[in-house]
Every structure is written in C-alpha cells, then in structure tokens.
Amino acid sequence: MDFKQIVSHCKEYGFIFQSSEIYDGLAAVYDYGPYGVELKNNIKNYWWKSMTQLHDNIVGIDSAIFMHPKTWKASGHVDAFNDPMIDNKDSKKRYRADVLIEEYMDKLDAKVEKELKKAAKRFGESFDAAMYKETNPRVQSYLEKKDAIAARLAQAMTDGNMEELKAMIIDLEIACPVSGSRNWTDVRQFNLMFSTQLGNIAGEEGKLYLRPETAQGIFVNFLNVQKTTRQKLPFGIAQIGKAFRNEIVARQFIFRMREFEQMEMQFFVAPGTEMEWYNYWKDMRLKWHHAVTPAEKLRFHDHDNLAHYANAAVDIQFQFPFGFKELEGIHSRTDFDLSQHQELSGKKLQYFDPERNENYVPYVVETSIGCDRMFLTMISNCLMEETVPDADGKESKRIVFKVPAALAPVKVAVLPLLKNKEALTEKARAVHQLLNVHFPCQYDEKDAIGRRYRRQDAIGTPYCITIDFDTLEDNTVTIRERDSLQQERVGIDQLVEKIAPKVSMAGLLAKVLE
C-alpha cells in the first residue's frame, strides 16, 4: 500500500488521529485512537520486557519530563541541540538546510535506480546489478557525485559551518519546492528545545525545558538506581516516555513529530569496554527487530557526523514507504553525560569497581528507539491489500494488517453467525466472556459475516471465532486464522489453550534470544 493509503487507513480504523482535528489540527502532533493505543502499548511492552525481563542487569525507571534547567546545559542541549535552518524569501517557507541537501542526494539515488531498472529490462535474466553499478560510467558519475556531497555535508555538520551549508545549496542549485526560486536567506542555527516558565521564578532562572530526550532522566538518577538496586557494572537503566522537539521539518506523518515517545536504555560499562558492548547492543537490537520485521527491510547505517556526546554511533534504518530512514539509534556516549553532570552539579557520579579497585565515571552505550517510528514500521510493513478466495469460489480484495499476533490490538473476535437468533448471540456473548479475561477480545454481530471478517482483518485481529447452529449442539466453534484464512473446528473448552501460546509475548521474546 502506498503511504497515503496507510495514513488514511490509520484514521479510518481508529489507529491515529490528527491532534485537535476540529480546529484543523496542530502540525506534527497526533493522537492515538482505540486500536492505536493498544498497538502502541504492545510495542512498548515488547521493548520493556525484552530489556528488563530478559536481562537481570537492566532495571527500569520513570523520571519526570521537567528537569532542573542545568541538566540541559550540562548535556549540551542548550548550546548544541540545533538544526540548521534556511528560509526561502519568496515562499517564506522554512527548511532544514541539511535535509534539502539530503533530498538532493535521494534524487541521485533515484536516478541510479532508474538506470538499473532500464538496464535490467535491456539485459534480461543475465543482468548483474552489482557489476553494472561498478562499471557503467553514468551510474558511476551519479554515485561519485553523491559520495562527494555526503562527505562535504558531514564535514559542514561536524564543524557547525553554516556558511558552507548555504554554499552547498547554492552550488547544487537547489530550488524551493514551493516557489521554485533560489532566493535563500543565510543558514542559521535553530534550537530544538521547547521552553516554558515556572510560575514562581521570573526570568532565565525559571526557564524550564520540555525534555528533548528521556536519557538525561536516567543519567541524573544513575547513582540512585545503582545504590538502591546494588547493581554492579555493567548494568543498564531503561525508560519509556515522552520527548519534545521543535522540529522545523515536520512531515511524513508520525515519522517526525513535535511530541513523541522514546524507549531508551543506557548501559553503564567500565571505560575501555564500551566498543565490545556497543557491538553487543547492535546485535541484540537487530535481533529484536528481526523477530517482527523481515531482515531485508532493515539495515545498519553508520553516522556520517557524530553527535556532540558520541564516539561511535549507528542507526538501524527501516525501509519506510519514503525510503530507508532512521528507526533506532545506538550510540557509544563515552563518559560525556555523567562527567558533565558531575561538573555542573558538583556531585560525584562515580562507581567503585571492586575488581579494578578504583573509582571512575562509567562509560555509556545507549539504545534509543522512537515508539512512534516503531509503530509506523509495523503499519508500513504489515498493512497490505491482497486478493483472496471468496466463500462462493470467486476472488475478492481485502485489506489486512498482518501484524505479529503478540502486538495485535485485538487478539480474538467472537462473531455469532446471525444477529437475530438469540440462542446464537447468547452463546457468543458467553464465549466472549470466557475469553476476554485472557485476551483483548471483541464481540461483533453487525453485518454479514464476510464484512465482519474484513473489519477484523483491517485492524489485524489474528483469530475470528464464529458461533453457528452446530455450536449449540456440540459446543464447538469455527476458528479462522487471519493470514492463512484456514478454518478449524475447535471445542470451546480448548480455545484458551489453543490461542494463548500464539498471541503471547513469550513467543516473541524467545525469538529475540534465538
């Protein structure tokens, strides 16, 4: 399905609504509807359990969104959490300078793809795409141009060189997508933090920030947690919570939001061991993704320019409908954050290592994933249109959300074959009551059975149970499986036993450990 269809499906089926829609919405802010919140909670649960339940040495916290303003000075966010922005003087539209350049590079990629497609058609079965890429002069020139731009961009971003970014936009003759003109302002730094004011303190002193990442709540609690849980290094602290960024480019639905949710884990390690743990977490996180997403849609992408706190950083990218983009970041953050907090607070944030017999500020490896981006990954990958056989032997189209059963918003739908036969509806309600203490269930009696199946397919319900006249005789029901469409006759007393292992989180967690 294309991106537009995905977005409208999310609205039509109660997954996601535009925030304050009756007032024409608020850009890049979204509300999760009844099925959306269930799916999102399941994603969070999958992450939380894989961190805290599968690792004895990872514990969770839930820290406040507001933090002492010095936190953000120490972390570098006040001085360095900026995006380079540029305005077009004719359209008055504002853009991220680096994104304009990246989009230019995407166009070069698209040209390469076009050349490859053309050549594949020309050469037929014997076509070797890798060889063609390496030898065809036109493809080579596109790739070389792209590499040169990427290197220049990385250098400019690392140096914080705004003049160079502007020069690149001019050199590449990038035009405003709205006005078509190249009438640009200079590039300026724009801080991404939202600020607000404490009621009882005037001026700068009372200036608070909405946290732009959850990580700092973990850093400032490092010693509290370590002492109260008596953890030894290496150990981790996990947290799920809201983060806020005043994004300049707020597009692509829930991919880039101004208010979003992060699932972050900081793993505290002895200095000198951080690369070993960085590699460990790269592996672990990829396994977590592979349990729910096909490997070919995921890839690692090393950062071209490192954030102010990192000595190594990689993204796990997912192939969204608009291309491979960052889904999760894994960063080796050194001792930057703890050392900074130690300096600005004047409080020691050190660990006594009994094996080394010394005190030190631990190093940190971080895994950080946006819950909303994971949601978009699931929707983009698992929502599809397919042709299936009808009951009368013909074919029809259905939209089905083939989300892993453990993440599905509703696990079971109970459907009486007919609405106006009281014996059937009564029995169906009894089955629904039997099951809904075990799983999120839905009872649905409205419309023909085929339409009810389609409704459940569209929200991703893995099992539909139909109560028919035979049920009244022998206490068996038909259970229909969402993906295979296979139907099976099962005794009511066996339903829980049959469904539970297929929809449980345990199955997914076991895959992570495989």
457 binds ligand GAP (CB under 6 A): no
Find, among 294, 296, 232, 298, the residue nearest to 268 by Cα.
232
Distance CA 114, CA 502 (A): 42
Q: Give me the residue label for tokens 């190249």.
A: 182
Q: Give me the residue label for tokens 């007393």.
A: 493
- Shortest CB 252 distance to ligand GAP, Å: 9
- Shortest CB 178 distance to ligand GAP, Å: 22
- Burial annotation 141-163 (CB, 10 A radius, 16+ → b, else e): ebbeebeebeebbeebbeeeebe
83 binds ligand GAP (CB under 6 A): no
Q: Which DSSP helix (H) or strand (E) runs through 114? A: helix 97-123
Find, among 114, 76, 84, the residue nearest to 102 by Cα.
84
Check: CB of residue 487 under 8 Å from CB of residue 476.
no
- Shortest CB 223 distance to ligand GAP, Å: 20
329 binds ligand GAP (CB under 6 A): yes
Question: How many H helices and E strands in the chain?
Answer: 18, 23
- Shortest CB 192 distance to ligand GAP, Å: 9
Site stretch for ligand GAP (CB under 6 A), options 169-177, 339-347, 368-376, 495-503 = 368-376
174 binds ligand GAP (CB under 6 A): no
Smaller CB separation from ligand GAP, 81 or 453: 81
328 binds ligand GAP (CB under 6 A): yes
Smaller CB separation from ligand GAP, 258 or 452: 258
Distance CA 278, CA 238 (A): 16
Smaller CB separation from ligand GAP, 26 or 143: 26
90 binds ligand GAP (CB under 6 A): no
- Shortest CB 255 distance to ligand GAP, Å: 6
213 binds ligand GAP (CB under 6 A): yes
Smaller CB separation from ligand GAP, 257 or 467: 257
373 binds ligand GAP (CB under 6 A): yes
Q: How many CA atoms lie within 13 A of 457 on its CB side?
A: 21
Smaller CB separation from ligand GAP, 329 or 460: 329
47 binds ligand GAP (CB under 6 A): no
Contacts 24+ apart (CB under 8 A), 353-356: 353/233, 353/270, 354/232, 356/270
Smaller CB separation from ligand GAP, 286 or 500: 286
Q: Would you list the DSSP string of 424-469?
A: HHHHHHHHHHHHTTTS-EEE--SS-HHHHHHHHHHHT-SEEEEE-H
Indicate the residue type of 104. Y
341 binds ligand GAP (CB under 6 A): no
- Shortest CB 212 distance to ligand GAP, Å: 7
- Shortest CB 75 distance to ligand GAP, Å: 9
- Shortest CB 264 distance to ligand GAP, Å: 6
- Of all residues in the shown chain, the one whose CB is closest to ligand GAP is 370
**Could you give the string, one character per residue 253-292, with x where binding to ligand GAP holds by CB under 6 A and - elsewhere?**
---xx--x-x-x----------------------------
Contact pick of 368, 377, 381, 476 for ligand GAP (by CB under 6 A): 368
83: alpha, beta or left, given left = phi > 0 and alpha = psi -120 to 50?
beta
Contact pick of 245, 289, 432, 482 for ligand GAP (by CB under 6 A): 245
User: Which residue intervals of 183-291 are DSSP H helices?
Assistant: 215-219, 222-229, 274-290
- Burial annotation 399-431 (CB, 10 A radius, 16+ → b, else e): bbbbbbbbbbbbbbbbbbbeeebeebbebbeeb
247 binds ligand GAP (CB under 6 A): yes
- Shortest CB 366 distance to ligand GAP, Å: 6
63 binds ligand GAP (CB under 6 A): no
Smaller CB separation from ligand GAP, 306 or 399: 306
217 binds ligand GAP (CB under 6 A): no
Q: Would you list the DSSP string of 461-509?
A: -SEEEEE-HHHHHHSEEEEEETTT--EEEEEGGGHHHHHHHHH-HHHHH
Find, among 276, 268, 246, the residue nearest to 259 by Cα.
246
Where does this chain bind ligand GAP (CB under 6 A)?
213, 215, 245, 247, 256-257, 260, 262, 264, 326-329, 366, 368-370, 372-373
